[in-house]
Amino acid sequence: MDQQSHSEAALRDKARAFLPGGSFGNAGADLVIVEGTGGRVRDAAGKEYVDFLLGSGPMLIGHRHPEVMTAVREQLERGTTFFANSAPGILLAEAICEAMPCAEKVRFTSSGSEATLYAMRAMRAFRGRSKILKFEGGYHGMNDYALMSLAPRRRSNGIEPIPDSPGIPEAIREEVLVAPYNDLDAVTAIVEEHHDSLAGVIVEAFQRVIQPRPGFLEGLRALTERHDLPLAFDEVVTGFRLSYGGAQEFYGVVPDLCTVGKVVGGGFPLAGLVGREEIMAQFDQGAAGEEGFLPQIGTLSGNPIAASAGLATLGVLRADEAYARLFDNGRKLMDGLANAMRSAGVEAQVCGEPCVFDIVFTDQPIVDYWSWESGDKSSNARFNAVLREHGVLKGTSKFYVSVAHTQEDIDQTLGAFEAAAAEIARH
């Protein structure tokens, strides 16, 4: 069926008829994207946007990058999937191990949610314990364990996890402990009390758009080492984004395991779990033995097309000036956003790193989930709506910056920031 023959209205009608809520569950049902090039996308009505959604992050080097497109076309001529080892997947595993400080072995999955699920399962298998410690507001995909205290609407009683979704078995609550992000004293107290029952700790080193306080990650690493607990960094967002070696290279703290995704698939469904050989050996029946073996099977894991796109993307990122350009773009945007709000007299915090950041409408510093949650939601919604009216697209809570964004893209966005600041100041 020719998708070009359908108008935007017809496509939206079909979405409402055949998709729950009229969407894939991602960006809003009122948006149908048909094309992306560089740092821009175009919707079904023909409107063009500067794109800071970037497919929720994968398109770090832009849409339809010629090197990625060439690699994908070449692999398409050879075949699309094999359910066996392939050259692109093997070479991508090698590239990841060369890049990430903690990476000695790689096991591919198709999504970040799978990767974090297996990170937790690997820690449980390795330690012979069942409980996982995560952080309030930390996002680790859509598996049951990850959906504990991702976005709680009320404060829990200390370490008590709160399910964020119906359909999660009550028993899961007994297997998850929750700590406040950036509070090393609180984490230490929890670990000191529960380390005998803990399998490990999983954390976004850079949680959503919240930077770690000085010493927090270093203290967390020392604490887990003291109790022989595996530490997993969820780097689905930060891997190859904060730096080529991810958050662990950027912040100088090396975990035992990490998850990768988004950027590493070059816009195709690919993610993975990487880490120390001692723990990753759980996936090797010959090394782990029958009792210790942790099976992990995925029809499309290590898919050769996705791996080819990932290899090409990493090649572009290794080129000179890629990260300098990315961070220069981000700093211009962050500074421009802060200046626009300050000039309009709007209280707001611009938080994050230059490659991924957002604005929170509050006069309080953003250090954890509850300070981020305290922001004025109506101002945030108005801000996003004004940006979209001015041809700037972002998610509800994040700007993803691309190497492909041009000065023209940045200038248009800075103008949209000023319009949004003026609109918010009027209310």
Q: Annotated active-site positions, please?
A: 139, 234, 262
Q: Is residue 34 a contact partner of residue 43, using CB atoms and an 8 Å limit?
A: yes
What is the 3-state composition of the chain as percent helix, strand, coil, each rounded to the nearest 5? Answer: 45, 15, 40
- Taken in order 395, 400, 403, 407, the sign of the CA dihedral is positive
Q: Is 27 exposed, middle or buried (0-12, 13-18, 19+ CB in 10 A)?
A: middle
Which one-letter amino acid corresponds to residue 364?
Q
Residue among 312, 124, 321 at smallest CA distance from 232: 124
Task: Report the distance separating Cα 86 and Cα 328, nearest Å.
Answer: 37
The first and second tokens of residue 313, run together, are 């993307």
Helix (H, G, I), strand (E, B) or coil at 413: helix
Residue among 168, 134, 136 at smallest CA distance from 150: 136
Enter the DSSP assignment of 277. H
Helix (H) or strand (E) holding 134: strand 131-135
Buried b (16+ CB within 10 A) or exposed e, 96-132: beebbebbebbbbbbbbbbbbbbbbbbbbbbbebebb
Number of helices and strands (H, E) in the chain?
14, 14
Residues 6 or more apart whose CB falls under 8 angstroms from that of 311 comprise 71, 88, 91, 92, 95, 266
* C-alpha dihedral, 235 to 240 to 243 to 244, nearest 10°: 130
**Size of the chain in residues:** 427
Q: Which whole-number Å values give the CA distances from 141 to 279, 286, 310, 404, 425, in the listed order?
A: 21, 30, 20, 27, 36
